[in-house]
Structure 1
């Protein structure tokens, strides 16, 4: 994209100026966490230096301005995902927290022995284990949408999984291990034909793809701040108002109550019903600055730039002898997983690190995916809005050097 000012964008990220092992940092581990622009870093400093106070509980000035700033984030999240109501936005500690909240609360309210929950074969452990725990506790059954050799979900098999005992479906928008973009609007519609609600893991999607929860008609959606240029320890659970109101609280404590007596406690209204205790205030406030940063560039512009970079990366990586791509779905985003036949991913990753190149190696918290492909793990390069073709060139050069050393 000729009008995409990558030089200016990179100048906003201080860490990209540093060296690792005497080499310029090439950061390609964005699927794990993204770096932070100075706008977010400065906002963190400003919070602690000028407004640090607890939220929602004080009449004094600092508490009021902190509360106002925290609630600004809720409004910006609402607008960012196009939620219908402000109180449909629950601030969490991240995607894992959001999924566990739904599993616990939905499970308590609606799951009984013999009921069934559907997930997919490409899920992150955080979208597998909470449902396994729920099934173990309730005597429910976990069913899995199969995946083919390209890393695409079998939609016909998915449609056939539904029956009168199906109570919930949960799947990822974009695979963290393969980069596959699932046809989520179609999959949500399939579930709704059976009156089954859907949980969407958007942790690898919101920073790359424009999302409109009303257009998708999704029932619940979760994502994390640290994967979208914001702080760690903050995330979002979106839920349709009627469903959130139907669920019991997740935790007990401050903020989620209206009145407490030893005889009975009455719970607060949404969204505070699910926000017990002191939140990660600094991260909650500063998530708004990450959203502002993404909006300033434009999600559509980011996607176009990253798609171009993704295509360039695939073209260059094909030059490496013995490379094997893991995940060849027709629609992919940001994540490239691969092996160099005859080498171990860890060994390649160590050599790349010596060259200042950060990638992720291993099973990426998606062991069932690796088991299906019959491999212990992959090398994963994951892209962000600040990566460049020069980063890709450095990766290819590093992989060629690693191959020469290891083969």
Structure 2
């Protein structure tokens, strides 16, 4: 149960948009945080204040504003490192989103500029992902396989929405160079069992990458204990701004990898025929970075830390249990994913018999001001696996309430009546 000290009504007051009245006098019911979370005033004001009083370019300006910007930008890196349990701040690379972080790692494999054998990739080598991945953790590996002649393989998904690990030893073999999977599914809510997969990855000498975009905002994170080699996540799903993401990687691996982008600030020295590169993390941060966005992410980390990630996790667990029970009472509704709380987060995707998800979402929005996401959620192969074109997804966060879930259920009953 959520701690008695968890005051969701007080938390909601920190988010200006949640008090917005929609056209027609409808209150906003925001159940789409798995897509993008809303922002607290602390983040909004931190970014506004920096733009208004401190903005300058980072790492290159010698004046007061440049110094203040650089200090704030690097302080954000310190905050993120502490938040996720990174052994070193230099292992935190700022990107524009999780997709860029995933692409950055994929770029290193099979790259002639990388001499480290751990990044060898060619015909006969294999990449392993899963059937539940977001497109951002599918397409970069497809492109890598096309570039190098490697083979792309994947974990299947069970009817219950879990990774099927029954063929683990046959799927992850001595030919495997990297395994890249979601830490938590953006459709199913499933939290994948890293501890069950990691020993086999280590046994065959492969690397492990996690897409933690859906887990870092909702659960306490300790990357050092998690055991992966790389982790990607994004700011806009964790009450931070868009335009900022993070790649964490083990320092020795980041040191071995070639730059992903070339340009200003990632260099050490440049001649007309060659260049040398700055040490990590700056080797991967070419050009003017998303300065204010990184500072906003630091403010988001401060905000989440002030509430406490264990308390947020407990609150969402309570909401998810409530939602699963309440949705079970809606005739014709089928949850796609785990029906219990074991190893799952606060994302619930479903279909409603006889009604297309797009119609569900439109009616919920028009009639009740309820914001959910509809479609394949950038996970089309997973929907194909379940034989459905799309789902409706309700995703919960620290500011949601059981009364909002009640509103969703009432709205779904109304949808059924419309299509009766």
Whether these two folds match at TM > 0.5 is: yes
Partner of 2:364: 352
- In the TM superposition, 1:180-191 aligns within 5 A as 180-191=190-201
Shift, 1:361, TM fit: 0.4
- In the TM superposition, 1:8-407 aligns within 5 A as 8-21=10-23, 22-108=25-111, 109=114, 110-328=120-338, 330-354=342-366, 355-407=368-420
Cα distance in 1 between the residues matched to 2:391 and 2:176:
34
Q: Answer whether contact 2:172 2:200 (CA < 8 A) is retained.
A: no
- Which digits, 9 at most, give the CA deviation of each residue in 1:352-377, with x for residues without a partner? 01110000001000011100110011
Cα distance in 1 between the residues matched to 2:199 and 2:237:
27
Shift, 1:271, TM fit: 0.6
Cα distance in 2 between the residues matched to 1:263 and 1:365:
42
- What secondary structure is seen at the aligned counterpart in 2 of 1:156? coil
Runs of at least 4 residues off by over 4 Å:
none
- Which is worse superposed, 104-113 or 20-29? 104-113
Cα distance in 2 between the residues matched to 1:338 and 1:63:
49
Q: Answer whether contact 1:146 1:157 (CA < 8 A) is retained.
A: no
Shift, 1:114, TM fit: 2.2
Cα distance in 2 between the residues matched to 1:164 and 1:174:
26
Q: Answer whether contact 2:357 2:392 (CA < 8 A) is retained.
A: yes
Shift, 1:85, TM fit: 1.2
Cα distance in 1 between the residues matched to 2:21 and 2:202:
50
TM-score, structure 1 as length reference: 0.98
Cα distance in 1 between the residues matched to 2:22 and 2:237:
22
Q: Answer whether contact 1:146 1:158 (CA < 8 A) is retained.
A: no
- Which is worse superposed, 207-216 or 29-38? 207-216
Shift, 1:309, TM fit: 0.8
- What secondary structure is seen at the aligned counterpart in 2 of 1:62? helix
Shift, 1:112, TM fit: 1.7
- Which digits, 9 at most, give the CA deviation of each residue in 1:296-324, with x for residues without a partner? 11110000011001101111111111111
Cα distance in 1 between the residues matched to 2:215 and 2:168:
21
The alignment of Structure 1 onto Structure 2 pairs a total of residues equal to 407
User: Structure 1 residue 3 and structure 2 residue 5: aligned?
Assistant: yes
Q: Answer whether contact 1:124 1:176 (CA < 8 A) is retained.
A: yes
Q: Answer whether contact 2:56 2:66 (CA < 8 A) is retained.
A: yes
Q: Answer whether contact 1:257 1:266 (CA < 8 A) is retained.
A: yes
Cα distance in 2 between the residues matched to 1:210 and 1:111:
34
TM-score, structure 2 as length reference: 0.95
Q: Answer whether contact 1:173 1:182 (CA < 8 A) is retained.
A: yes
Shift, 1:19, TM fit: 1.6
Q: Answer whether contact 2:77 2:92 (CA < 8 A) is retained.
A: yes
Shift, 1:154, TM fit: 1.3
Where does structure 1 lack aligned partners over 5 or more consecutive residues?
Answer: none
Q: Answer whether contact 1:188 1:216 (CA < 8 A) is retained.
A: no
Q: Answer whether contact 2:94 2:244 (CA < 8 A) is retained.
A: yes
- Which digits, 9 at most, give the CA deviation of each residue in 1:289-346, with x for residues without a partner? 1001111111100000110011011111111111111112642101001111111100
